[in-house]
Structure 1
């Protein structure tokens, strides 16, 4: 769920409500990933004043609310790709249980001017530093490797 551009807070909550209801009906979502609007290289940026841009606090609050409200979605992913590695790490304390992956090729967010990159070693370090156990998984969330 990308947010922070033209929607209201009420519309953001409504979006989550619809996801929750659809998940109750279908169990089709493996994870929920939210990220803030990335304005660089985006035509919508002219419609979003600086003061209206979502902050790191907004992001972390959305993470926490999504973990509580979307209790029928098994995984909440931290979007370090849009928020940066440190906020991505902090999100692990706000309901996220997944830091995603090392991006081999990413075109959507980078087209908007955000180009965070990392390595497996860095993700492992960040997860451990947050007091969590790093686990490599596949797209079905099956365990591939535990970094003990």
Structure 2
């Protein structure tokens, strides 16, 4: 979900762009944003992609499968576009029409992305007993009530 929807309940076409950016990063990396874990930090996949981008190591985000089937330029372009889509402020994000143009044309100059929304480390307090590593987990609890007539 886009930051403006989570914080203010405002939904717009730029919220869809944010979601598309997350999806694009998930496809390139082969990992889910929600369950992503890294041993060096507690950022989600979007935050991890941003850290790698700033350090000039964005290629490390790509799933190993892509090494065999895609050229590095295309992978980096998808990461770049994904980061443009997940920028914190809606007005900084491109429109979906612009995203389509960026994805389909090689000659398009892409602007530098700004910090993504939700670029904060998660606080982890739960410890997995089997691995003794910190993990951020949520537990879904469901209660079912069955109504019976007397």
| TM-score where L is the length of structure 1 | 0.23
Higher strand share: 1
Tell me which of the two structures has the higher relative contact order, counting C-alpha pairs closer than 8 angstroms and 6 or more residues apart: 2
Say which one has the larger Rg: 2
| TM-score where L is the length of structure 2 | 0.22
